[in-house]
Amino acid sequence: MNDAAGAPALISFRDLTKEYNVGGEIVHALAGVSLDIPEGEYIAIMGPSGSGKSTLMNVLGCLDTPTGGSYRLKGREIARLSDDELAAIRNQEIGFVFQTFNLLARSDALHNVELPLIYAGMAPKDRKLRAEEALRSVGLSDRMRHKPNELSGGQRQRVAIARALVNRPSIILADEPTGNLDTKTGNDILGAFELINEQGKTVIVVTHEEDVAAHAKRVVRLRDGVIETDFRQAGRRVEPVPSAPGRG
Amino acid sequence: MEFRESASIALLALRANKLRSFLTLLGTIVGVTAVIALISLIQGANKYVSEKLVTQGANVFWVDKFGLILDNDKFIEALKRKDLELADAVAVAGTAKLAAAVRAKKERNADVRFGSERVRRVPIQGMWGDYVAVDRIELQEGRHLTAADISRRRSVCVLGYQVWQDLFKGQTALGHEVRIGPNSFDVIGVAEEKGSFLGQSQDNYVIVPLGASDKIYGRRGSIEIGVLVKDAPAFEMAQDETRAILRARRHVAPGKDDDFGITTAEMFMQLYRSLTGAIFIVFVGVAAISLVVGGIVIMNIMMVSVTERTREIGIRKALGAKKSDILMQFLVESATLSLTGGAIGVVLGAAIALGVAAISPLPAEVSVIAVILGLLMSTSIGLIFGIYPAMRAARLDPIVALRSE
């Protein structure tokens, strides 16, 4: 099945490169990546350390800009946007879930979930309702006034998921979301991602764990800054994804 | 991002580190305290002095041997001048057309006794002329000195309120005899209370006819001439008129300086203003130094705060905070910090000023303007010294910030 043939892809990379200058030596973290991610995808990006997957995630998450190539999000070229424009896209289009949860320690769960809405400029009353709704949807309606240190790891990650979802982004971008959790809790979280994906959101998980990647519909493996393999999997069945045009 | 979010973050941070916040704010607190206390005291004093001095002495000028001398050499020079005599006052009273009332006064201290009561070193004022109009003395009982009392140098006196209280303890003094120095005087009147001026009672005096005072402390000594001017616009002209009369009488050659001095309430006011102005400048300097020091401390602590919260900044940026949001957050935080210091300073400064006013004769007035100034000053300190740390925070790379511990 070729998603790219129908509606334009949600995310479209063309010859994406990213170079770092490390002590006078140029490091090619991304050496020409082309990739299409249609809406509603659940994709795992894998690769050993140094493969460029973190860099790809940063660019994908609009935390960083590529050195070269094109990055279209919903058809809009964003590779050359300013910091503030990128901030707006992070706010509206992307929900982050981090390995270390990255909650504000001094704020309670509700306030943590409200943060994206604050930066979106939503009125206090509306955003409180929205944040409460988001926390309910991850099963934390009785933990809204708890601070992160009063919550278990799984609960913290669910707060983070609620925060990622609250501004209704098109993409959930998770970086090793189960890395700091035990297997059972990790599976709960992955279950939550599946549910989110079933509701139509695009989920992108960056991981080095095969177990985590197994939950995804599609797995992209990076090595040395280029895509090594790109497979669609259904259960245990693995089928290749047609190449995006221009992929080197 | 909205202001309330930033302010609540700031207050949260303040409360989380109480001791650190207090130490951080010490400089600002001291600076604002000094400014508020000083402004309150000076403003209180200004109002008080101008009320007392100007309303009591409006349209009156005084002529004596010295005038308002602040210079030691000039004072020694003035000592050599010829005394002003009663005849000078008589001449002014007789010829000055712009003068509504003229009086001559000689004053020296003497003990006053009644029965077993004694008041030491009371200013005994020998009066000639219309002292009632010039000095605005109202009586609560009895009568004033008459022209006949004065010309016949009768041994009669009018007691100041304080002297009457001390000697007669609120009982009537009329018809009684008091001893002033070695002499007996009949009390014919008691003056109304005038109150105090900068802690100095205005009611500690005894008025006797000029001439009768000679019996107490001898004939020697220069008089002071007091002149009440008919209408305010002619105040300067009236002084010139009296000056001309006295220069002629005392044979001062043209081009030479007066050998007497004219003083007005306005001159006292100016002297007072220049004194308080100097004090004010010194204190403003001290306050400015402590505010700058306070600002640097705030800047330092904000740098620490930015470093400590690098990860938080990263999180906020990942969630969509723009540079300006982060900048605003830290600016509001430093402004809130210093405003808190300013508020504490305002309260302390007002307390000090009112405390000083309560235990000393110095008056104080805490004005709204002073309070606003204090708060404004401290807030701007926070804003100015908060800019650099806030810009550092705003410019942080979100990836680097998220990776920090």
Provide the strand spans (E) within A38-170. 42-46, 68-73, 76-77, 94-97
pLDDT value of residue B196: 76
Asked whether the CA dihedral A84, A85, A90, A91 is positive or negative, the reply is positive
User: Residue B211's closest CA among B112, B137, B129?
Assistant: B129
pLDDT value of residue B11: 80
Residues 6+ apart with CB under 8 A from A197: A40, A42, A203, A217
Nearest to A58 among B311, B322, B399 (CB): B399
Nearest to B320 among A58, A90, A124 (CB): A90
* CA B29 to the chain's CA centroid: 25
User: Residue B187's closest CA among B158, B153, B149?
Assistant: B158
pLDDT mean over B47-61: 75
CA distance linking residue B195 with residue B199, whole number of Å: 9
Angstrom CA distances, B78 to B211, B258, B262, stand at 25, 10, 13
User: C-alpha dihedral over B368, B370, B374, B376, to 10 degrees?
Assistant: 60
For strand B200-201 and strand B196-197, is the pairing parallel, antiparallel, or unpaired?
antiparallel
In this prediction the ipTM stands at 0.90
Angstrom CA distances, B196 to A99, A231, B54, B355, B379, stand at 77, 98, 15, 19, 40
Proportion of chain B above pLDDT 90, given as a percent: 57
Asked if residue B1 has pLDDT above 60, the reply is no
Give a yes or no: residue A1 inside a domain: no
Q: pLDDT (tens digit, 9 = 90+) per residue, B278-301?
A: 888 888 888 888 889 989 999 999
The backbone torsions φ and ψ at residue A7, rounded to the nearest 5 degrees and listed phi first, read: -65, 150
For strand B261-264 and strand B99-114, is the pairing parallel, antiparallel, or unpaired?
unpaired
A201: closest CA of chain B, how far (Å): 18
Question: Quick one: which H or E segment has residue B87?
Answer: helix B86-95
Least-confidence region, from A66-70, A228-232, B46-50, B389-393: B46-50
- What is the average pLDDT score of chain B? 89
CA distance linking residue B247 with residue B257, whole number of Å: 9
Q: Do A120 and B315 touch (CB under 8 A)?
A: no
pLDDT value of residue A4: 44
Overall size of chain B counted in residues: 405
Asked if residue B58 has pLDDT above 80, the reply is no
pLDDT value of residue A127: 92
CA distance linking residue B253 with residue B230, whole number of Å: 29
B311 touches chain A (CB under 8 A): yes
In B131-230, alpha helices (H): 131-135, 147-151, 161-168, 212-217
Give a yes or no: residue A11 inside a domain: no
B11 touches chain A (CB under 8 A): no
Query: B351 and B33 in contact (C-beta within 8 Å)?
Result: no
Q: Do A88 and B320 touch (CB under 8 A)?
A: yes
Query: B309 and B380 in contact (C-beta within 8 Å)?
Result: no
Nearest to A116 among B4, B311, B319 (CB): B319
User: C-alpha dihedral over B68, B70, B76, B82, to 10 degrees?
Assistant: 0
CA distance linking residue A10 with residue B267, whole number of Å: 85
Least-confidence region, from A85-99, B46-60, B121-135: B46-60
CATH number where A189 lies: 3.40.50.300
CA distance linking residue B71 with residue B80, whole number of Å: 15
Which is higher by pLDDT, B24 or A161? Answer: A161
Phi-psi region of B255 (alpha: psi -120 to 50; beta: other; left: phi over 0): left
Give me the tens of pLDDT residue by residue for chain A, a chain 248 residues long.
Answer: 444 445 678 999 999 999 988 888 999 999 999 999 999 999 999 998 889 999 999 999 999 999 999 999 998 998 888 999 999 999 999 999 999 999 999 899 999 999 999 999 999 999 999 999 999 999 999 999 999 999 999 999 999 999 999 999 999 999 999 989 999 999 999 999 999 999 999 999 999 999 999 999 999 999 999 999 999 886 544 455 665 554 43
Q: pLDDT (tens digit, 9 = 90+) per residue, B184-210?
A: 999 999 999 988 776 678 899 999 999
Overall number of domains in chain A = 1
Provide the strand spans (E) within A23-83. 25-37, 42-46, 68-73, 76-77
Proportion of chain B above pLDDT 70, given as a percent: 98
Best probe of the B interface among A18, A86, A94, A102, by most B CBs < 10 A, is: A102
Give a yes or no: residue A115 inside a domain: yes
Query: B124 and B206 in contact (C-beta within 8 Å)?
Result: yes
Q: pLDDT (tens digit, 9 = 90+) per residue, B309-338?
A: 999 999 999 999 999 999 998 999 899 889
B379: closest CA of chain A, how far (Å): 25
B400 touches chain A (CB under 8 A): no
B318: closest CA of chain A, how far (Å): 6
Asked if residue B174 has pLDDT above 70, the reply is yes
pLDDT value of residue B187: 96
B325 touches chain A (CB under 8 A): yes
Asked if residue B404 has pLDDT above 90, the reply is no
B315 touches chain A (CB under 8 A): yes
Query: B124 and B156 in contact (C-beta within 8 Å)?
Result: no
pLDDT value of residue A7: 60
User: Residue A159's closest CA among A116, A124, A206, A119?
Assistant: A116
pLDDT value of residue B290: 87
Q: Do A118 and B5 touch (CB under 8 A)?
A: yes
Q: pLDDT (tens digit, 9 = 90+) per residue, B331-373?
A: 998 998 899 899 999 999 999 999 988 887 778 888 888 899 8
Asked if residue B13 has pLDDT above 80, the reply is no
**3-class DSSP assignment, residue B371:** helix
Q: Do B319 and A96 touch (CB under 8 A)?
A: yes
Tokens of A73: 């999000």
pLDDT value of residue B219: 84
pLDDT value of residue B405: 74
Give a yes or no: residue A2 inside a domain: no
